[in-house]
Structure 1
Amino acid sequence: MPESPQDFLANWTASRGNLRNFLETTAFAPLGEGPQRAAGEAAAAVAVEELFGINLDAYSAGVESVAGSFESAGANKLNHPDPAIPQDVGAAAFFDVDNTLIQGSSLVSFAFGLAKRRYFTFSEIVPIAWKQLKFRVSGNENAEDVAAGRVQALEFIKGRSVEEMVALCEEIVDQSMAHKAYPGTKQLAQMHIDAGQQVWLVTATPVQLAQILARRFGFTGALGTVAEVKDGKFTGRLVGDILHGPGKKHAVAALATMERLDLSRCTAYSDSANDVPMLSMVGTAVAINPDARLHRIAQERGWLIRDYRSVRKAVKTYGLPALAMAAFSFGGWRLTRK
């Protein structure tokens, strides 16, 4: 006997239900938590590699650094834009600090500030002072010196109150750093602000110090080396990357994601060849007071070069021995005048 329309419909519905059940439970079974996580991480790794040219671990370290910087500041942004200025959404400028925004090393200013307050002895500061002298004369920032300096800084502040450290950093910035800013670099930063763009400091300097500088100069914010905090005191451990060399690139990649920045429309400024990874990831790279290697790379790649130094220009013109003799002569004259 032929099937009635009702029987046919009932059998077809049952068969469709069986087919759906087969597809959902067997052919395309849902992934468990582990496989789902692995698939998600694989997709994220591909996206991060395509967007920023870094692996997922490096990007994750950048996220930790940025999140730690935001937590230290208590907000994503330290200063808000002038409402009268139309905002160029998606565009930003990233500035290194040492020898780019300010003369010399912020870490040394930090170290001397701690020394004045008896955080450590004079003998402990001598190696840091020697590294600063090499930096000022040669213009070359040694990656090992920077990394060692940050480790020392983390150890020196271990167990100290964050509130106490912030107050100390404010004194150091106001007394020893703000007046050392290069006017030319400050004008470049202001140019970006006036164009409605974000301006960020990206530095290996302790984040509290960098953020006070950013506040003083009216910048959007600052990313720095973040020391772990528990119960209002520093533990002596690092959060995320030391923002030096590739660490800056990782942090900028994370910041670009969080702030929805188009890196092809962004600008980066630095004095050191160690920052080539960050300089290479933006649409416009500018070498400020460049060391010899960065100067060569900038010329090869057609990057802009700006030099606001005076001491190193004099070294090139007169030679270091002549300047040293002049300095000693001046010192002797000062002594005879006392």
Structure 2
Amino acid sequence: MTRVGRPRITFFDLDHTLLPIDSDYAWGEFTQAIGWCDRGEFKRRNDEFFAHYQAGTLDVHDYVRFATEAVRRRGPQAAAEAHERFMREVIRPAVRPAALELVRKHLDSDDEVLIVTATNEFVTAPIARELGVAHLIAVELERGSDGWITGEIAGVPSMREGKVVRVGQWLESRGLDWLDIDSTFYSDSMNDLPLLEKVDHPVATNPDARLRTVALERGWRILDLFTEQE
């Protein structure tokens, strides 16, 4: 039920929701392709972490240390150049018109739109801009005295229950509470069940099998975004 007169805020998960790929995993694959890490060992560990994420058992702190290791070694200039190539070769070809249209529909309706993702800010900030979304809640990376990332996480990681915490902090910084807004969240993943349960309008988007079952049981809207386009 829409809360009349209250600001509408729409939250989107990113990977497999607005993108048909996992940007974090794809970045790892990309660093292998450009020779930044040992292909065999990195792929083994990357696949292992990805399986834990899908199962809901990922230790995000261990993963972020692993996922940012090559970037930390290369430094900010090389990292920025590599990320632009990543955007050009991997992300932009993966962006689907259906996702852009969905984001635009909410923006045109004067919704405040945010991406809320468990992927780190280095990977996702340029992607959010590419999708036309000004506000991003992602895993924040700690920076050392030299201003460069350390491999540790700053604050609460935006994963599972942490997404609810981080969105709550974002609302509080704007003088808002959950009861002050009319909220919608699009996500594909069972990992996002806490935030889906928190909002007024949960939308299971390209849902994994477990989330599809929950959505059907609870009468939530199901949106097969990319299938509907194709």
Equivalent in the alignment of 2:63: 149
Q: Say if 1:287 and 1:306, in contact at 8 Å, map to a contact too.
A: yes
1: CA distance, partners of 2:157 / 2:138: 8
Question: Does 1:289 pair with 2:203?
Answer: no
Instruction: Give the secondary-structure state (helix, strand or coil) at the position aligned to 1:144.
Output: coil
Equivalent in the alignment of 1:210: 124
Question: Does 1:99 pair with 2:16?
Answer: yes
Structure 1: gaps spanning 5 or more residues:
1-87, 314-338
TM-score (norm 1): 0.58
Equivalent in the alignment of 2:184: 267
Equivalent in the alignment of 1:244: 159
Instruction: Give the secondary-structure state (helix, strand or coil) at the position aligned to 2:80.
Output: helix
Equivalent in the alignment of 1:308: 225
Q: CA deviation at 1:95?
A: 0.8
2: CA distance, partners of 1:170 / 1:261: 35
Q: Say if 1:128 and 1:149, in contact at 8 Å, map to a contact too.
A: no
CA-atom RMSD in angstroms: 2.7
Instruction: Give the secondary-structure state (helix, strand or coil) at the position aligned to 1:280.
Output: helix
* Structure 2 counterpart of 1:93, one-letter code: T
Deviations 1:299-324 (A, max 9, x none): 222211011345xx9xxxxxxxxxxx
More strand by share: 2
Deviations 1:231-263 (A, max 9, x none): 132212111133221111111111111234554
Q: CA deviation at 1:271?
A: 0.3
Equivalent in the alignment of 2:42: 125
Equivalent in the alignment of 1:61: none
Question: Does 1:158 pair with 2:72?
Answer: yes
Q: 1:278 to 1:102 in 2, by over 3 A?
A: same
5 Å-filtered alignment, 1:12-161, equals 90-127=7-44, 130=47, 141-145=54-58, 147=60, 148-161=62-75
More helix by share: 1
Higher relative contact order (CA 8 A, sep 6+): 2
Q: CA deviation at 1:208?
A: 2.2
Q: 1:295 to 1:201 in 2, by over 3 A?
A: same
Runs of 4+ off more than 6 Å:
132-135
Q: 1:287 to 1:261 in 2, by over 3 A?
A: farther
Instruction: Give the secondary-structure state (helix, strand or coil) at the position aligned to 2:68.
Output: helix
- Aligned-residue sequence identity (percent) comes to 27
1: CA distance, partners of 2:213 / 2:65: 31
Greater Cα radius of gyration, structure 1 or 2: 1
TM-score (norm 2): 0.83
* Structure 1 counterpart of 2:154, one-letter code: V
Instruction: Give the secondary-structure state (helix, strand or coil) at the position aligned to 2:64.
Output: helix
1: CA distance, partners of 2:11 / 2:185: 5
Structure 2: gaps spanning 5 or more residues:
none
Instruction: Give the secondary-structure state (helix, strand or coil) at the position aligned to 2:54.
Output: coil
5 Å-filtered alignment, 1:222-233, equals 222-230=136-144, 231-233=146-148
Equivalent in the alignment of 2:91: 177
1: CA distance, partners of 2:7 / 2:75: 37
Instruction: Give the secondary-structure state (helix, strand or coil) at the position aligned to 2:110.
Output: coil
Q: CA deviation at 1:265?
A: 0.3
2: CA distance, partners of 1:171 / 1:89: 41
2: CA distance, partners of 1:179 / 1:298: 30
1: CA distance, partners of 2:20 / 2:49: 11
Equivalent in the alignment of 1:256: 171
1: CA distance, partners of 2:50 / 2:219: 30
